[in-house]
Structure 1
Amino acid sequence: MGLLSNRVKKESLKAGDHIYSWRTAYIYAHHGIYVGDDKVIHFTRRGQEVGTGTALDLLLISSGPARSREICPTCTTTLDENGVISSCLNCFLAGGVLYRFEYAVSPALFLAKARGGTCTLAIADHDDIVVHRANYLLENGFGCYNIFKNNCEDFAIYCKTGLLVLDQGTIGQSGQAVSIIGGPLAAVLSTPLRFVTTNIYGMAATAVGVYCASRYAADIGMRRDVVTVQVEDLTRRLATGLLQVVEPQISVDLPHQSSQTVAR
């Protein structure tokens, strides 16, 4: 992988890797967990790989990579009740390019990769734990799909870290969701700073600075509104709607991360 590109070859993958593939002009990427044997477990909108429930679907579906019309002999599931499905790597990529999501990156590298949804400051757990979470959620689900609060990237990040956003009313862990919202938000927030400069380049630089700061602060590795939830406990919480109700908490300091709230 290079400084600005996370592109990798299939031969370099190992079980537990968080992978993704851009679906259209770098607007949307689909994320999943590679579990070995050419299989990827990923979270979808009831089995539909591209689905947001919004007008954005028209753009994503019409602009996506070309797909083979042949039925894959190894991927027989086309619709799943809980939205978490297992596909072969080729079906997951759907004609796109393979990328690997990076964890525990430095702040400088995080900011250098200005497009969200490619890396995080958070530290990943051991690969065996990651694969266990993905397989468990394949059987038990990951809740209701929401492009901004509970999407495929949120699923993959949870499998890698065990971290979930405490307040389900806010944006989830997804870096690409933050980027989609962050652009217009940066323009709005930087408007009061227009008195600093009337130069168009200065105003653009100000907006970029605000965007980078907001994306950095919203990263799962920096946020304070996250909790560690055991995967076996997650499905019970989702079923009862008690995800945001946690037991007594302790605060721990992790490398590359701010103090995070951890549920016992």
Structure 2
Amino acid sequence: MGVLTNKIKREDLKPGDHIYSYRLAYTYSHHGIYVDKGNVIHFTRGEGQEIGTGTGLDHIIGSSLPQHPLDNPCPICSDQSRSDGVISSCIDCFLSGGDVYRYEYGVTPAFFLAKARGGTCTRASSESEEQVIHRAFYFLRKGFGVYDVMKNNCEDFALCCKTGWKVIPTVDGGQSGQAATFQAAAGVILSVPVAFLARSSPVGYAATSVARLVASCGTYCVNRYINDIGVRRDVVKVVLEE
């Protein structure tokens, strides 16, 4: 575990761990809470609609779970791979052939900024193993609302289980590191004046490009940081009602 990777071995997993696995050549990751004995509770749309954009991308990016044939479901999970919402599945179905990574909590500002990719760590502290697992099972029974790729996704679910915090529903963005990364990256790309650069001389183009790159990296890091659930203030503590 460190700046370069959060990859771990299965035998090192502990109950209450927030884990994730990459999909589609590391384009995005799927998150969940490891319970025990190879069981994971996670939030998904299922049926090849995990990202839930309402566009053609939903048909390109596969489900968070392997699609077992109807006549040959997973011997452990049965037909859970075709379910929506908060579900419990075996770790093999959760990983869907990928490696397992562990999300890090309570990291320093320097460490957070050094992790250039979001969705891997947070400044927020995790609560106890018992509280984390209790929330996961509560949401398994009660649900976690409607899946939204930017505002209410699998990482939001795992963060809420671990910290008890959830972004106030009235705000525009969600709390997940992946969502913040995508938003920050999009803002950087849109801020580059392509037409101006095209008209510049080679020397001017190079100098301007370097300056823009440095400024864009700074903007990207700041945007990621201020959107982390560990530092933002537009959050509420989730109260579980039995």
1:188 corresponds in structure 2 to 190
2:177 corresponds in structure 1 to 175
| Cα pair distance change 1:59/1:65, threshold 3 Å | same
Q: Which moved more, 1:26-35 or 1:68-77?
A: 68-77
1:55 corresponds in structure 2 to 56
Q: Which moved more, 1:223-232 or 1:182-191?
A: 182-191
What do you get for the CA RMSD once the two structures are aligned?
2.5
Correspondent of 1:228 among 222, 225, 237: 237
Aligned 8 A contact 2:159 2:165 in 1: yes
Q: For residue 203 of structure 1, report the CA deviation from its aligned partner.
A: 1.0
Q: List aligned pairs for 1:239-258, cutoff 5 A.
A: none
Correspondent of 1:200 among 190, 209, 223: 209
Q: For residue 25 of structure 1, report the CA deviation from its aligned partner.
A: 2.3
2:22 corresponds in structure 1 to 22
Deviations 1:17-38, CA, capped at 9 Å, x for gaps: 0000000222210000000011
| Cα pair distance change 1:33/1:219, threshold 3 Å | same
1:242 corresponds in structure 2 to none
Identity across the alignment (%): 49
Q: Which amino acid aligns with 2:61?
A: L
Q: Which amino acid aligns with 1:172?
A: G
Structure 1 consecutive aligned stretches of length 4 or more whose deviation exceeds 3 Å: 46-49, 64-70, 78-81, 187-191
Q: For residue 230 of structure 1, report the CA deviation from its aligned partner.
A: 1.6
1:213 corresponds in structure 2 to 222
| Cα pair distance change 1:66/1:137, threshold 3 Å | closer
Unpaired segments ≥5 residues, structure 1 = 234-264
Unpaired segments ≥5 residues, structure 2 = 198-203
Q: Which amino acid aligns with 2:128?
A: H
> What is the SS of the residue equivalent to 2:157?
helix
TM-score, length-scaled by structure 1: 0.79
Number of positions where the alignment pairs a residue of Structure 1 with one of Structure 2: 228
Aligned 8 A contact 1:32 1:156 in 2: yes
The alignment status of 1:164 with 2:166, answered yes or no, reads: yes
Taking the aligned partners of 2:212 and 2:107, their CA distance within structure 1 comes to 29
1:39 corresponds in structure 2 to 39
Taking the aligned partners of 1:124 and 1:47, their CA distance within structure 2 comes to 31
> What is the SS of the residue equivalent to 1:104?
coil
Taking the aligned partners of 1:71 and 1:87, their CA distance within structure 2 comes to 12
